[in-house]
A and B are shown apart, each in its own frame.
Chain A
Amino acid sequence: MKEAKPGWRELPFGAVPYKSSLEYHTGDWGVERPEFDLEKCTRCTLCHFYCPEGAIGFEAGHPEVDLRY
């Protein structure tokens, strides 16, 4: 992810981050990508709670990964 970083005059006061962590897409840091076998998935939701990035949602009734994180 190449982007021009802001200079010191543009950065917010008081070392407040210039963007929220929601905007930091860290998905490309991973070396493995999770895939679900929905035939075997029991919808126990454990993966949702285990995911350290909180990137696994259940809005569709089954697990879905937001691969941006």
Chain B
Amino acid sequence: MSSQRLLGLNGDEAAAYAIKQVNPDVVAAYPITPQTIIVERFSEYVADGLVDTEFVAVESEHSAMSCCIGAAAAGARAFTATAANGLALMWEMLYIAASLRLPIVMAVANRALSAPINIHNDHSDSMGARDSGWIQIYCENSQEVYDACIEAWRIGEHLDVQLPVMVCLDGFTLSHTMENVLTLSDEAVRDFIGERPYIKVQGHLGEAEFRLDPEKPLTMGPLDLYDFYFEHKMHQVEAMRRALKAIPEIDEEYREVSGRSYRLLHPYMMEDAEVALIGLGSTMGTVRHVVDRLRKRGVKAGMVKMRVFRPFPTEELQELLKDVEVVGVLDKAMSFGAPGGPLYEELRAVFYDADERPLIVDYVYGLGGRDTPPNLIEEAYEGLLEVKRRGEAVEKVRFLGVRW
């Protein structure tokens, strides 16, 4: 393990610092709260000559992602950061980045989508992008943001994967809150990420690396109708499946360098848990605190933090939750008109065929940054215990912390 330096960084600064150490070829970004600090800080690194990056101050997020796509297609390492409406403006380009198999890394400082306008945290922005073909990693604290912004390159560029990666950090809760962050040396980061590897493909003049090079021409993403498009989507299906294997492998390598390991899921007190909450992001720190509190009172409570939402770790979840009696899902986004929030729906789908399965209820919470203090989480656990007593969940989708 290499020696590390403890820095006081908020989530945005942690992302910017990691990207500085990665020293990507291109950063194209447009400022939007609560992501702004990332690109602001990074542009200072550029101005101070601390990185070799070409910083492109684009006129919109659509252009930011387009620029990253062009750069990554040409073989560069490209990074951008955004939030909420900025991510929404990137929409069509998100799908193109993933379909063209370009391992771009993007930090998303999760923020509620308008309207009404709101700058605070929920997951409505990145949850909307869950079908775009990007890998999604959700962070609990600034340390995880820093580590994910380094690991993301290796995950996305893994030759079995080759997909873009979204590193999601909760707006303000993480983006603007200073914490202690252990940082690797520049050299350790450089050694860990190495050079971007390329898949070999057949270009117009023979074998070529998968990047646009006039000397070895190839065509990316031409017209692809009913006779080939479906097959190309299968490539993306397969890449996500392989990412499920690649992520823990890379994580193990990262553990050797940093001593920190994250894997796909973080279970806590799950060995004998009768009721458990599962969720994403910074709230899970609060949940862990509440689990400790409940355990002191003899309640067999546990929790599972999902670090990786795409690809969805189906088998790991089945294994982890099969013996739990009641599982509450914390959804910081709502899919209007759907049976429930996105995580709830997927978790239920995962358990439909299982012989052993928990009762599952949904807690939609925190929309627009609504505060989620420990007593509210405790209320959720009480709800789960009530379901356990009754042996059934009458009300399956609940709204935690809203005024009635």
The answer on a CB contact under 8 Å between B202 and A15 is no
Docked pose: A22 CA to B219 CA in angstroms: 13
Cβ–Cβ contact A12 & B227, under 8 A: no
Query: Is A13 interfacial (CB 8 A cutoff)?
Result: yes
Residues of B contacting A46 in the complex (Cβ-Cβ under 8 angstroms): none
Interface core residue of A11, A12, A22 (most chain B CB under 10 Å): A12
Cβ contact within 8 Å between B210 and A14: yes
Binding-face segment, B104-112, B229-237, B336-344, B348-356: B229-237
B231 x A14 contact (CB < 8 A): no
Asked whether B50 is an interface residue with its Cβ less than 8 Å from the other chain, the reply is no
Once A8-B232, A8-B234 are accepted as A-B contacts, the answer to whether A14 and B162 lie under 8 Å apart by CB is yes
- Judged by a CB distance under 8 angstroms, whether A16 is at the interface is yes
Residue B224 interfacial (CB < 8 Å)? yes
Which residues B149-207 have CB closer than 8 A to chain A? 162, 199, 201-204
Interfacial chain B residues near A42, Cβ < 8 Å: none
What does DSSP make chain A's interface, helix, strand, loop or mixed? loop
Interface code A1-16, partner B: CB below 8 Å = 1, 0 otherwise?
0000111100111111
- Chain A residues with CB below 8 A from B201, complex form: 12-14, 16
Q: How many Å from the CB of A37 to the closest CB on chain B? A: 36
Residue of B nearest to A5 (CB): B227
Complex Cα gap A5–B203 (Å):
19
Contact of B224 among A5, A8, A13, A15 (CB under 8 A): A15
How far is B201's CA from A13's CA once the two chains are assembled, in angstroms?
7
Q: How far is the CA of A69 from the CA of B208 in the complex (A)?
A: 26
Whole-angstrom distance from the CB of A2 to the nearest CB of chain B? 13
Shortest Cβ distance from residue A4 to the other chain B in the assembled complex, whole angstroms: 12
Contact across chains for A15 and B162 when beta carbons are under 8 A apart? no
Assess whether B222 is interfacial by the CB under 8 Å rule: yes
Chain A nearest CB from B175 CB (Å) reads: 33
**B199:A13 contact, CB within 8 angstroms:** yes
Tell whether, in the assembled complex, residue B210 and residue A13 are in contact, meaning their CB atoms are under 8 Å apart: yes
Within 8 Å CB of A18, what residues of B? 202
Kindly state whether residue B218 has any CB partner on chain A within 8 Å.
Answer: yes
Complex CA distance for A4 and B199, rounded to whole angstroms: 26
**Nearest CB of chain B from residue A26's CB, rounded to whole Å:** 14
Q: Tell me, yes or no, whether B100 is within 8 Å of chain A by CB.
A: yes
Contact B232 A11 (CB under 8 A): yes
**Which chain B residue has the least Cβ–Cβ distance from A22?**
B204
Q: Does B221 contact A (CB under 8 A)?
A: yes
CB atoms of A17 and B219 under 8 A apart: yes
A12 touches B228 (CB 8 A): no
User: Shortest CB–CB separation between residue A41 and chain B, in angstroms?
Assistant: 33
Q: Determine the chain A residues whose CB is within 8 A of the CB of B224 once the complex forms.
A: 15
Please judge, given known A-B contacts A5-B227, A12-B201, A12-B202, whether A17 and B232 are in contact too, CB under 8 Å. no
CB distance from A29 to the nearest CB of B (A): 15
* Cβ distance A13 to chain B, nearest Cβ, rounded Å: 5
Known pairs A8-B234, A11-B235; A16 contacts B210 (CB<8 A): yes
Question: Once the chains bind, are B220 and A16 in contact (CB under 8 Å)?
Answer: yes
On chain B, the residues within 8 Å of A16 by CB distance are 201-203, 210, 218-220
Chain A positions within 8 Å of B232 at CB level: 8, 11, 15
Point out the residues of chain A lying under 8 angstroms from B228, CB to CB: 5, 11
Which residues of chain B (226-269) have a CB below 8 Å from chain A? 227-228, 230-232, 234-235, 238
Across-interface contacts of A14 in B (CB, < 8 A): 100-101, 162, 199, 201, 210, 220, 235
- Output the nearest chain A residue to B224 by Cβ-Cβ distance: A15
Contacts of B99 in A (CB 8 A): 15
* Chain B residues packing against A (C-beta within 8 Å): 99-101, 162, 199, 201-204, 210, 218-222, 224, 227-228, 230-232, 234-235, 238
Could you list some 7 contacts between A and B, CB below 8 A? A8-B230, A12-B202, A13-B210, A14-B210, A14-B235, A15-B221, A16-B210
Closest 3 CB pairs of A and B: A8-B231, A8-B234, A14-B101
